[in-house]
Structure 1
Amino acid sequence: MLLTVIGIAFANDIDLDQIVHDAKKTNKHILVFLHITGCNYCLKMQEFTFDDEKVEAEIKKDFIFVDINVRDEGIVSFDGLKVSKLKFAKEIGYPMYPSCLFFDQNGELVYDEVGYRDEAKFLDTLHLVSTKAYNDVE
């Protein structure tokens, strides 16, 4: 399963500031997957999209994957915020699930997708972000 294969920030508390630092050192983008227990589309992304071998390989190569279930216990620290996972999602403007947020090595949100994406569409998104083609998207 993807969540055990790739490098993941995977604890009750998530220090996104440290993850940004790690992204800078490894020259990777950060992919934050926001989801909620009981969401069928979230589960579908976990079981199909993220479990796809090609998707796994792309994420492992170019991203630091951060899995945030907003109903889980724990605090997210990021850019001066230190709040619950649910409050974090709301504070940054993403109270809809699933949401995939892509941050660059400076901690800037550079791209997002809200809602379910199948494997092929998500691979396109990963390529768009890893090649920084989001700079060309209006």
Structure 2
Amino acid sequence: MKVKIDKLGNELRYIQNDMKQVAILLSFFLFLFGSGFDHSDGIQEKAGITWYSLKEAQQLANTSDKKVFIYMEASWCGYCKKMENEVFPVKEVQDAMQEYFYPVRMDIESDKEITFNGTQMTKKEFASSIRVTGTPTHLFLDGKGEILGKQPGFIPADVFKSLLSYVGSDAFGQIKFEQYLNESKK
């Protein structure tokens, strides 16, 4: 450690290799945090859920009875992290997701290009076009890319599992969600 005296006579202590340590720390944080925010580059598994790109999910849903679920998130979103830590790891949520949906993760602030219903746009433009302004927001699409509905905010695991089943089973076209919840508890 070197000691240096500033113009006012105060001691300034600094580590000789401070630039090297800063570079090492910066590299570590870029590795740790830099790769985790844009989750939609192909099939990935996280918290027991297989996540698809939007293009893959739409192609698969178009040839099956499943729908597309888009989890709209942001890297700074505390409630998104709560969904990821408390809701997505729950087995019943994973089972309902797998049974009814091809799930997609989308950062609403990303400038990465996507294709939605044949139109090129950024993820940020997509979020804006469907008026998503807060995160998390849960978006449901049919196999043709038509928006069935969206639900903003943190949703506890038991309610989220029921919401996935409600939309996935097409009950949303027949009864209200509150009635569905009451009937599913019987």
Same fold (TM over 0.5): yes
% of aligned pairs identical? 22
* Residue 99 of structure 2: aligned partner: 61
- Confirm whether residue 125 of structure 1 aligns to residue 163 of structure 2: yes
Q: 1:79 to 1:109 in 2, by over 3 A?
A: same
* Residue 43 of structure 1: aligned partner: 81
Q: Deviations over 1:67-120 (max 9, x none)?
A: 112234521211243121112101111121100001111211112111110101
TM-superposed deviation, 1:4: 6.2
Match of 1:9 among 52, 64, 67: 52
The CA distance in 2 between the partners of 1:7 and 1:26, in whole Å, is: 17
Q: 1:36 to 1:113 in 2, by over 3 A?
A: same
The CA distance in 1 between the partners of 2:50 and 2:66, in whole Å, is: 11
Match of 1:31 among 51, 56, 69: 69
The CA distance in 2 between the partners of 1:56 and 1:119, in whole Å, is: 10
* Residue 108 of structure 1: aligned partner: 146
* Residue 86 of structure 1: aligned partner: 124
The CA distance in 1 between the partners of 2:59 and 2:77, in whole Å, is: 31
TM-score (normalizing by structure 1): 0.85
Q: Which structure has the greater CA radius of gyration?
A: 2
8 Å contact kept, 1:33–1:65: yes
8 Å contact kept, 1:75–1:85: yes
C-alpha root-mean-square deviation of aligned residues, in Å? 2.1
The CA distance in 1 between the partners of 2:107 and 2:150, in whole Å, is: 17
8 Å contact kept, 1:32–1:102: yes
The CA distance in 2 between the partners of 1:4 and 1:49, in whole Å, is: 9
Runs of 4+ aligned structure 1 residues displaced above 3 Å come to 4-7
Larger relative contact order (CA 8 Å, sep ≥ 6): 1
Match of 2:113 among 72, 75, 86: 75
The CA distance in 1 between the partners of 2:92 and 2:131, in whole Å, is: 30
Q: 1:117 to 1:4 in 2, by over 3 A?
A: closer
The CA distance in 2 between the partners of 1:97 and 1:22, in whole Å, is: 26
